[in-house]
């Protein structure tokens, strides 16, 4: 088994290296009230548990009943994290079997609330914190982690958490949540995952004054000092966890692009905000072509926002358009961007480097509605983090210009969405093809039921991670994310599309992850990046590698 805490006897029977209270306090080993009488006698548990023995199904019933009674979603989040802290197997059983209910609780949108109040709801440490005072000894910090076979690391510096801004170390909820989805959605063994937060300070005035803030109450590091800390971290990971994939998460634009470019060709790494977001949106665009009958190469896309998510989507879309026959210049001319100031166009002198490839020749346009009227895009994609930017006038204009307008309101959490599903369908007369970053309830309009798709990165990054781990990939490439988008789009049925949904149901996400993992591994083998022998049946190999939340019998 991957978990070093168990000595394997056979497939179903193991011997734990702990007994008594120590066993009950280890969430990877604890079965709670499901320990059998024989196990209680053999492992020093007699008297430490209530007498009645409960089945896993009864434990699930108790937990779900209690969680559903909580008055707020934040309380539900706290209850589920508390379960993860005491019984890992039961936590994942509940999440996997109730993924549509639980994913919004343990990740977006509720994780955003949890991060904002992290210092106030803190119960127990999870993951590793690396601060500026650890400079010169980051390897030592990493070696303090008890599990030595780490395969997936999610790291943040907390500067751009969802659409909430600089939350400093309070952003730890994001790596914890992401990694729980790696396990629930793709089957990465939780013992092989490690959430990390780089505490490089915060510029959030509220946190600098909050007596319960849990990080360094100093201004953020920047420049050479910041770069040196990140570089030491990346190098230390290569030494301590040489098989680990590093996922950079929620870094601000000014660091995200350059760190990705610095490490992507030398380290097994990717940035989910840039590449994962791009992949799931590209999958949605691929799916939409079956409804609009407009091939990707003929679309004109207007992005509301020009940060890491927007440019990442644009770059991957350009690659896909080139695969359909366009030149790079032609494909880029199909993608337009509005940043916080105006249309990104060639006369502007204030553009950051990542925006310049999309600075086309055009007269200045100062607002989104005017841009929609002039450019007449096929799709508008919101990734600005600013709520309610897709107004009634904008959606109506999109509907005037397109029989089936594409309206993607992707900003997270839900409160930051550019518009709601109900707004998009109502204002377009039911013709909009809508997707969002966080979930919206189905909408009934004129007797027809619309089920909008959630363009959540959780469809992509877990499967990419599974593929990387299973084949021992030494690099993660944009080609892998393009193939992941195709694999996801291929899973969308005609029945899904009939309701307006561009993505498969979340209940199929484990199957989607396997399909994506196969595509990722195939790219790795084809490009010479894989380090593990190639299996005869790739899909069967991926399924066999998936962690299953099932109690083992202890002796």
Rounded-to-integer distance, Cα 223 and Cα 258, Å: 12
Q: Are 249 and 259 in contact (CB under 8 A)?
A: no
Residue 123 buriedness (CB in 10 A; 0-12 / 13-18 / 19+): exposed
Vertex 526: Cα angle to 525 and 527 (nearest 5): 95
Half-sphere exposure of 151 (CA within 13 A, CB side): 22
Half-sphere exposure of 397 (CA within 13 A, CB side): 17
Vertex 181: Cα angle to 252 and 462 (nearest 5): 80
HEC states along 314-339?
HHHHHHHHHHCCCCHHHHHCCEEEEC
Sorted by sequence, the CB contacts under 8 Å of residue 284 that are 6+ apart come out as 408, 435, 453, 455, 489, 502, 503
Rounded-to-integer distance, Cα 507 and Cα 451, Å: 15
**Helices marked H in 342-460:** 368-375, 392-401, 421-427
Rounded-to-integer distance, Cα 137 and Cα 130, Å: 10
Q: Are 278 and 260 in contact (CB under 8 A)?
A: no
Residue 2 buriedness (CB in 10 A; 0-12 / 13-18 / 19+): middle
Residue 82 buriedness (CB in 10 A; 0-12 / 13-18 / 19+): middle
Query: Which tokens sit at 116?
Result: 């904002």
Whether cis (ω within 30° of 0) applies to the bond prior to 109 is yes
Q: Are 73 and 105 in contact (CB under 8 A)?
A: yes
Vertex 166: Cα angle to 419 and 436 (nearest 5): 20
Buried residues in 503-540 as b, exposed as e (16+ CB within 10 A)? bbbbebbbebbbbbbbbbbbbbbeeebbeeeeeeebee
**Helices marked H in 166-307:** 173-181, 205-209, 223-240, 253-263, 277-292
**Helices marked H in 333-401:** 368-375, 392-401
Q: Could you give the residue numbers annotated as active site?
A: 107, 178
DSSP line for 9-66 = SSSSEEEES--HHHHHT-TTT--GGG--HHHHHHTT-TTTS-SS---HHHHHHHHHHH
Q: Are strands 193-199 and 152-156 parallel, antiparallel or unpaired?
A: parallel
Whether cis (ω within 30° of 0) applies to the bond prior to 413 is yes
Nearest to 459 by CA among 495, 480, 489: 489
């Amino acid at each position: 088994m991957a978990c070093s805490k168990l000595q394997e006897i056979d497939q179903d029977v193991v011997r734990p290296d702990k007994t008594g209270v120590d066993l009950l306090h280890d969430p990877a080993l604890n079965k709670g009230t499901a320990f059998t009488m024989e196990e209680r006698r053999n492992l020093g548990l007699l008297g430490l548990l209530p007498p009645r023995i409960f089945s896993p199904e009864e434990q699930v019933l108790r937990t779900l009943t209690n969680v559903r009674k909580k008055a707020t979603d934040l309380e539900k989040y706290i209850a589920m994290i508390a379960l993860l802290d005491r019984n890992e197997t039961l936590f994942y059983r509940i999440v996997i079997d109730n993924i549509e209910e639980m994913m919004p609780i343990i990740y977006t949108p509720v994780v955003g609330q949890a991060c904002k109040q992290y210092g106030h709801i803190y119960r127990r440490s999870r993951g590793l914190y690396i601060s500026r005072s650890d400079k010169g000894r980051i390897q030592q910090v990493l070696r303090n982690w008890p599990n030595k076979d780490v395969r997936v690391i999610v790291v943040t510096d907390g500067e751009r958490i969802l659409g909430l801004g600089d939350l400093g170390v309070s952003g730890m909820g994001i790596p914890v949540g992401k990694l729980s989805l790696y396990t629930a959605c793709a089957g990465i063994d939780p013992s092989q995952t490690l959430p990390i937060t780089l505490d490089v300070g915060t510029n959030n005035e509220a946190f600098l004054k909050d007596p319960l803030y849990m990080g360094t109450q100093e201004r953020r590091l920047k420049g050479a000092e910041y770069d040196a800390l990140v570089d030491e971290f990346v190098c230390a990971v290569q030494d301590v966890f040489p098989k680990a994939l590093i996922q950079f998460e929620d870094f601000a634009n000014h660091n995200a692009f350059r760190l990705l470019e610095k490490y992507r060709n030398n380290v097994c790494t990717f940035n989910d905000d840039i590449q994962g977001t791009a992949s799931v949106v590209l999958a949605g665009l691929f799916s939409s072509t079956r409804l609009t009958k407009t091939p990707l190469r003929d679309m004109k896309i207007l992005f509301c926002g020009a940060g890491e998510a927007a440019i990442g989507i644009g770059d991957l879309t350009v690659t896909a358009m080139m695969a359909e026959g366009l030149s790079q210049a032609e494909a880029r001319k199909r993608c337009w961007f509005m940043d916080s100031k105006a249309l990104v166009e060639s006369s502007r002198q204030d553009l950051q480097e990542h925006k310049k490839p999309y600075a086309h020749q055009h007269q200045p346009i100062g607002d989104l509605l005017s841009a929609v009227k002039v450019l007449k895009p096929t799709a508008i994609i919101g990734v600005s983090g600013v709520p309610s930017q897709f107004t009634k006038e904008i959606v109506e204009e999109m509907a005037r210009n397109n029989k089936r307008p594409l309206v993607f309101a992707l900003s997270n959490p839900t409160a930051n969405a550019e518009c709601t599903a109900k707004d998009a369908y109502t204002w377009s007369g039911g013709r909009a093809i809508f997707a969002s970053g966080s979930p919206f309830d189905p909408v009934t309009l004129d007797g027809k039921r619309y089920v909008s798709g959630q363009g959540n990165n959780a469809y992509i990054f877990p499967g990419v991670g599974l593929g990387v781990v299973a084949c021992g990939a030494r690099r993660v490439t944009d080609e892998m994310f393009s193939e992941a988008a195709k694999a996801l789009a291929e899973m969308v049925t005609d029945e899904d599309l009939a309701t307006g949904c561009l993505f498969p149901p979340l209940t199929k996400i484990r199957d989607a992850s396997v399909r994506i993992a196969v595509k990722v591994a195939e790219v790795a083998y084809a490009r010479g990046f894989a380090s593990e022998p190639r299996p005869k049946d790739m899909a069967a190999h991926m399924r066999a590698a998936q962690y299953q939340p099932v109690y083992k019998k202890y002796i």
